[in-house]
Amino acid sequence: MKFIVFVISGFLAVACTSVSHVAPAQAAEHPEARPFDQDPSLVAQDDVDAALSEAKETGKHAIIVMGADWCHDSRALAGWFETPRFETMLQDNFVVRYIDVGQKNRNIDVAQRFGLETIVGTPTIIVTDSQGEVLNLETAPSWRNAASRTEDSIFEYFTSFAPEEK
């Protein structure tokens, strides 16, 4: 019996030492920003109304980013939005507003206004046309992995919702 235990121990020792080293997964590098902790006296619905009004007046679309500063995915997306590449595209095509949703327990009425029952992850992003019609209801809650997305994939997503040139 001792011999069997000795042999099995030997096999396990060889198996454990012969496994290749696997490097840990690395998170994509991304810029970060913290735009969500806003003045508590602001009313989120009023901020959304102002964004939609501005979009209508200018013929732009609106992006409503519902997130939080504690969320690395929210900070990553906001960080990309502040880079020159995104800044130019966003200024030309969109009115952007950041709505603080706390721990997914604040300003949920904003999500509900656009047809989402709740916030399942942050950030949740609503894109509307200049008339306030939601363009991305299917993918709005899918951004809780924003920090893992590539710059190009994020850029392509938003440019796909830009108003068509006339």
Instruction: State the 10-residue block means of pLDDT for the chain, 166 residues long.
Output: 50 42 45 66 89 98 96 94 96 96 92 96 97 97 96 97 85
Q: What is the pLDDT of residues 8-51, one digit of tens each?
A: 454 444 444 443 333 333 445 666 666 667 666 678 999 999 99
51-72: b (≥16 Cβ within 10 Å) or e: bbeebbeeebbbbbbbbbbebb
- Token pair recorded at residue 75: 């900070």
- Token pair recorded at residue 18: 């012969």
CATH tag, 32-159: 3.40.30.10
Domain ranges of the chain: 32-159
Q: Could you write out the DSSP letters of every residue in 132-143?
A: S-BS-TTTGGGG
Q: Which residue has the tokens 């011999």?
A: 3
pTM of the model: 0.79
